[in-house]
Structure 1
Amino acid sequence: MAEDQKVDTQLFQLLSNLLNQVEELTNQEEVELRSKIEALGLEVTKVPSKSTQHLNELEIAKELDKLSAKLDDVDEMISSAMAADPEVQSLLSGTADVWMPVITATADERRNFTASIGDDNSEKQAKSSSE
């Protein structure tokens, strides 16, 4: 773990040095980019807090039951909205390829999905700022 932090520190130091060079060459201060690099560096090197609450199997089962009940409520709301309004049914059916993978994804799949959307947004921003 210490080695990972060392690599992360080196990476963000490299990014900072590259940004300094770009600023020197362009004679423009890149405040927004610098703050993003610093924020990302802090986020990457953040140590997760330890859970103060240790749940036993019975408590975990109760929490899962609560989540299951909430999902049932959501399912009922969606079903009734679809039955009441054909436009809702059409909209949900037409966009299921977008929202279903997110709902049914594992936590790791959601993180990867979120990361890929962040990458797509970065590319779009880079394109629009270069135009």
Structure 2
Amino acid sequence: MAGESKAPPPDAQLFGLLSGLLQQVESLTNQEEVELRAKIEALGLEVTKVPSKSAQHLDEMEIAKELDKLSAKLDNVDEMISSAMAADPQVQSLLSSTADVWMPVITATSDERRNFTASVGEDIHEVKGENSE
């Protein structure tokens, strides 16, 4: 099984960040956001799940359609985040200060997400090259 270990995909990193932000919000408000946590975890599992191997390969258009479906699911997260921001100024401050990290991925189309993933991969390789002393 050598060679199978890979860095987590950017979507997995995003959901890790969202979970961390939710923990911070919960600790600041002393309120457990059970429904929001469950939805973030469910979306994270859906996005990061490895598709079953099949003899039929998806073409680029089918992949784009699947990514658009996931984007539609993420719209619900955007709605919940917006309502949480409206309800609590601390949540608004925390989420606003980190929006440049998570918002582009949530609102991206399949083409934008593909470009984002490619640029993040390039950035990671650049950073590893600079810090490999």
Query: Could you state the TM-score of these two structures normalised by the residue count of structure 1?
Result: 0.42
Q: Which has the higher helix share?
A: 1
Q: Given the two structures, how large is their TM-score scaled by the length of structure 2?
A: 0.41
**Greater relative contact order, per chain length (Cα 8 Å cut-off, separation 6+):** 2
Which is greater in Rg? 1
